[in-house]
C-alpha cells in the first residue's frame, strides 16, 4: 500500500496488551546461534514441517497486518471446493475506482479485461494489487451486490481463521485496508495462517517468483500483457527465500511474512511493525538455519515504477 492507504488505517487496536515481550528461548538445535535482535515489534518463526516454534516476540499482542491479509484472501480462493484457476473474471470499473479512492497498491487492471483466477492471484500477491483482491472477493463471495459478495468473502476469511484455531485474528477487509481497525492478528497466528497457505503447491508457485507476465483478453478481443514485480525484496536476495508477502500501513507499520527453504528444511516467519523488515527476516532465517547470510545480504532493487508495499 502507498502512503494514502496507510492514512486509512490509523485506528489503534483496543485490548492489544503485550503479554509476551521477550523472544522464546532458543531451542536446543539453535543453542549455538545467538538469539537475534530485530527491529520488529512482533515476530515469529516456525518450522514448516511440524509447526514447531523457533522464535517468538510479543506473541500475544494483536496488531494490524496490512496487505499480509492477502495471504488469507489467496488461500480462501485456493481452498474453495472445485475452484477453477482458469476461470475468466472480467475486471469492473469499481475495482479501479476502489484503488483510486483508497490510494491503494494496484496491479493496474484495466476495465473490461478478462483475467484468469490464477492470474488474479499473481496480481494480488506480487504487486499487492488491491484491485485484484477486490476482483477475487467479488467473484468468490455470494450475494446479489458486490458489497454483499465482498462481505460474504470476508466472512469466509474469518471462518478460515476459526478453522485453524486462530482466536486472536480477525478480518474486516479483503486486502488489509481497514478504516475501523478490526483487521488484526498476532505473530504466531499469522505464521500459522501462512504455514497453511504455504502447504498449497499453487500458492508456493505464485509467491516465489520475482516477476510474472500475464496475457489477458481485452474488451475488444485484443491481448494485453501485464508484467508484475514482487514487492518482497527478500526474494533474490536471501539464499533459499521463496515467499511470501509484504504489507505496510500507518497502524500496521512495515510488515513481512516470509519463507525460505534450504535442503529439506523450510522455515516460515512473520515480522510486524518492523522498520527493517527484510533484514529482520534474514536474521530470523539465519537463526533457523544456523547461518550468517544476513550479514552480507544485498537487497534486490525493484524497477522504476514498480509498486511498493
Do residues 266 and 259 touch, judged by C-beta distance below 8 A? yes
152 is catalytic: no
Task: Report the alpha-carbon distance of residue 61 to residue 76 in Å, rounded.
Answer: 25
Q: Which of 67, 105, 122, 237 is catalytic?
A: 67
Q: Which of 70, 156, 160, 233 is catalytic?
A: 70
67 is catalytic: yes
Q: Which of 41, 57, 122, 128 is catalytic?
A: 128
Task: Report the alpha-carbon distance of residue 303 to residue 256 in Å, rounded.
Answer: 20
Beta carbons within 8 Å of 304's beta carbon, 6+ residues apart: none
Q: Which residues are catalytic?
A: 67, 70, 128
Amino acid at each position: 500500500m502507498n502512503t494514502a492507504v496507510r492514512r486509512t488505517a490509523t485506528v489503534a487496536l483496543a485490548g492489544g496488551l503485550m503479554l509476551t515481550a521477550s523472544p522464546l528461548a532458543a531451542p536446543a538445535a539453535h543453542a549455538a546461534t545467538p538469539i537475534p535482535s530485530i527491529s520488529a515489534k512482533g515476530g515469529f518463526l516456525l518450522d514448516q514441517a511440524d509447526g514447531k516454534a523457533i522464535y517468538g516476540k510479543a506473541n500475544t499482542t494483536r496488531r494490524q497486518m496490512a496487505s499480509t491479509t492477502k495471504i488469507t484472501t489467496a488461500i480462501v480462493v485456493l481452498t474453495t471446493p472445485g475452484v477453477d484457476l482458469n476461470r475468466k473474471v472480467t475486471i469492473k470499473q469499481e475495482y479501479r475506482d476502489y484503488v483510486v479512492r483508497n490510494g491503494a497498491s494496484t496491479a493496474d487492471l484495466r476495465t473490461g479485461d478478462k483475467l484468469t483466477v490464477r492470474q488474479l492471484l499473481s496480481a494480488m500477491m506480487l504487486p499487492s494489487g488491491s484491485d485484484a483482491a477486490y476482483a477475487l472477493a467479488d467473484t468468490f463471495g455470494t450475494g446479489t451486490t458486490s458489497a454483499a459478495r465482498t462481505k460474504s468473502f470476508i466472512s469466509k476469511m474469518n471462518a478460515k481463521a476459526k478453522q485453524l484455531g486462530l482466536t486472536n485474528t480477525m478480518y474486516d477487509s479483503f486486502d488489509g485496508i481497514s478504516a475501523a481497525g478490526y483487521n488484526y492478528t498476532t505473530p504466531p497466528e499469522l505464521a500459522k495462517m501462512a504455514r497453511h497457505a504455504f502447504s498449497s503447491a499453487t500458492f508456493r508457485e505464485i509467491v516465489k517468483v520475482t516477476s510474472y507476465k500475464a496475457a489477458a483478453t481485452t474488451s475488444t478481443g485484443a491481448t494485453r500483457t501485464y508484467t508484475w514485480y514482487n514487492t518482497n525484496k527478500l526474494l533474490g536476495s536471501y539464499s533459499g527465500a521463496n515467499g511470501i508477502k509484504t504489507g505496510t500501513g500507518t497502524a500496521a507499520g512495515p510488515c513481512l511474512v516470509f519463507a525460505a527453504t534450504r535442503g529439506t528444511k523450510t522455515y516460515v516467519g512473520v515480522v510486524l511493525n518492523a522498520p527493517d523488515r527484510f533484514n529482520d527476516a534474514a536474521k530470523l532465517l539465519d537463526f533457523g538455519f544456523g547461518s550468517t547470510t544476513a550479514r552480507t545480504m544485498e537487497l534486490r532493487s525493484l524497477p522504476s515504477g514498480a509498486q511498493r508495499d
